[in-house]
Amino acid sequence: MNAVRTILALGSNLGESRSTLADAVAALADHPGMKLVAVSPVARTAPVGGPAGQPDYLNLVAEFETTLDAHALLDHCHDIENRHHRTREVRWGPRTLDVDIITYGSSRINDEVLTVPHPRAAERAFVLQPWAWMDPDARLEGVPVADLAARAADLSSVELFEGE
């Protein structure tokens, strides 16, 4: 299989989020079917949706080349989440790690377990802004990611994380 470029979004708001994100990117890349291409700066963002009172998230976007098919990539992402003790109790609730497939080449997938491009990515500055920082020329469905970020309702809550 030829390598496919994929964009993954990672977020965490429980535990040692900064090290969790770094460890997760390394673990994603530590697979024979995955090659890390680029990683965005880390953003600190307010939670979007979910229960009130959650801590802020740390988010980043990473670009990979993969020879995994989209569903095997999803399984790999879930495996990395599970290694970081991800639980799925409350929709959009706090989590140790979330790994979402934003794009998988130019594929459009919509089945019972996977929707690509990610159905809400075009509205979420916590995905779009780090992606635009990483790749100012990136496009999602033909639209510049930076333009989508500028229009996203949550843009004001996204800031460059200058932490340790």
Catalytic (active-site) positions: 86, 95, 98, 100
User: Over the Cα atoms of the chain, what is R_g?
Assistant: 15
For residues 157 and 107, give the distance between their C-alpha atoms in angstroms, rounded to a whole number.
30
DSSP3 helix / strand / coil % (the chain, rounded to 5): 30, 30, 40
31 burial type by CB count under 10 A (0-12 exposed, 13-18 middle, 19+ buried): middle
